[in-house]
Amino acid sequence: ISTLSTADLKAQFPGLAGGWHYLDTAATAQKPRAVIDATVRAMGADYATVHRGVYARSADMTLAFEAAREKVAALIGAPAPELVFTRGATEAINLVAYTFPNKGRVLLSLLEHHSNIVPWQLAGWQVDVCPLTADGRIDLDAAEAMLTPEHTMVAFAHVSNVLGSVLDAPRAAQLAHRVGAKLLLDGCQAVPRLEVDVAKLGCDFYAFSSHKLYGPTGIGALWGRGDLLDAMPPWQGGGAMIDRASFAGTTYAPPPQRFEAGTPAIVEAIGFGAAADFVRAIGLPAIHAHEAALVRELRAALRARNDVTLFGPEESAGIVSFALDGVHPHDLGTILDEEGVAIRAGHHCAQPLMEHLGVPATARASFGLYSDQGDIAALLRGIERTRRIFG
């Protein structure tokens, strides 16, 4: 069904050893050897601090750290000086919510992850909520009707972590810009699954996490247009973000350093760069085609059962949410675990969406580049066993 050789790929992931059927990649992706090895080297033989040392090891580490920034930026078609390392997508969105100078109304959608809802609330924005189409995509016709000149920001998921729905980002950008708002995309689930080019998308900010892209936890990125980052004040103060510190008044470094106070996540950044190299070498178009084919196969098999409710659009980027009639998703997840199949059961940090769907939780199977038909077959066997147990 695909051009990816998943047997070869699976062998590169120690976390998948033993034939484990890991279908929770949307929560966090397993790590390939290439990333693990890069991380071990950075924490071992190559380790030193960055940006300050006068000795060769530190200078080399600084080059490796900045090379990682280049790789991660290149993955989304962005210039490296516009890419800020953060702790993850959550921190990236918080950074914009707190420091964007023109806080007004923000238009979110009903399918957002809590990390693209709560920061705006906490930072004092007036929040409006765009509804969804019947098949679970952000309704851009509704967005068009809702947007006003009071909106200074639109913040949408590029790919939904629950439904896999893909946003028509260029249209969203056009609608936002028409009223003078900026568009922030939460790219957590998109960067591992789609070829992303921020210039083509037309967005103004793009947030994502390394750990969903086969890289380490504890690091992510915010891309922002240069002129917008320049206009944003520092967020956290400390070392590495100043131009000159004095009690009379401190001045700040230009972006991205302005937003990177303290010793950065050096090892994690290098692992993030290795992850970007890894997915670029396989190719995002191939990864996308592979996961889309798995989605079609799984949805068809679940639909054929007649006892499964499927959520979300037919065209989904690697994520399938469903309910087995009469069985709580947690019970399904527990039985599947006994079968060596890992899915996610819960609200997926998207409680407003659960309320909209009229369920407390869904079961979610999510694919990665290493997923294959064997994983789907194991899931279907587990569902069948669950049906026999629950009747």
Burial 276-305 (b: 16+ CB within 10 A, else e): bbbbeebebeebbebbbbbbebbbeebeee
How far out from the chain centre does Cα 128 lie? 22
State both tokens at 224.
């922002």
Give whichever of 95 and 188 is closer to ligand PMP, judged by the CB atom. 188
Please report where in the chains the tokens 């100078």 appear, as a residue. 101
Stretch that binds ligand PMP, among 182-190, 303-311, 335-343, 367-375 (CB under 6 A): 182-190
Q: According to DSSP H, which parts of 190-283 are helical? A: 198-201, 226-230, 266-282
Distances (CA, A) of 276 to 140, 157, 216, 270: 31, 21, 11, 10
Among 25, 189, 316, 362, contact with ligand PMP (rule: CB under 6 A):
189
Judged by CB under 6 A, does residue 161 bind ligand PMP?
A: yes
Helices and strands of the chain, counted as H and E runs: 14, 15
Give the nearest distance from C-beta 30 to ligand PMP in angstroms.
Answer: 15
349 is catalytic: yes
- Give the residue among 339, 317, 374 at the shortest CA–CA distance from 158: 317
Output Rg (C-alpha) for the chain, integer angstroms.
Answer: 21
Give the nearest distance from C-beta 113 to ligand PMP in angstroms.
Answer: 4
Judged by CB under 6 A, does residue 312 bind ligand PMP?
A: no
- One-letter identity of residue 57: R
Which residue in 130, 188, 203, 349 is the catalytic one? Answer: 349
- One-letter identity of residue 129: V
Beta strands in the chain (DSSP E): 21-22, 83-86, 105-109, 126-130, 151-157, 182-186, 205-209, 220-224, 242-244, 251-252, 308-311, 319-324, 341-342, 344-346, 362-366
Count residues binding ligand PMP (CB under 6 A): 15
Give whichever of 202 and 346 is closer to ligand PMP, judged by the CB atom. 346
Among 188, 201, 324, 363, contact with ligand PMP (rule: CB under 6 A):
188
Stretch that binds ligand PMP, among 15-23, 183-191, 324-332, 379-387 (CB under 6 A): 183-191
Give whichever of 184 and 270 is closer to ligand PMP, judged by the CB atom. 184
* Residues 84-113 close enough to bind ligand PMP by CB under 6 A: 88-90, 113
- One-letter identity of residue 75: L
Give the nearest distance from C-beta 45 to ligand PMP in angstroms.
Answer: 29
- Give the residue among 104, 133, 31 at the shortest CA–CA distance from 370: 31
Among 157, 241, 353, 369, contact with ligand PMP (rule: CB under 6 A):
157
Stretch that binds ligand PMP, among 82-90, 169-177, 283-291, 323-331 (CB under 6 A): 82-90
State both tokens at 327.
């069985």
* Residues 199-218 close enough to bind ligand PMP by CB under 6 A: 209, 211
Among 6, 30, 39, 115, contact with ligand PMP (rule: CB under 6 A):
115
Give whichever of 90 and 321 is closer to ligand PMP, judged by the CB atom. 90
Give whichever of 219 and 241 is closer to ligand PMP, judged by the CB atom. 219
Give the nearest distance from C-beta 20 to ligand PMP in angstroms.
Answer: 20
The residue ranges that bind ligand PMP (CB under 6 A) are 88-90, 113, 115-116, 157, 161, 186, 188-189, 209, 211, 220, 349
Catalytic residues: 349
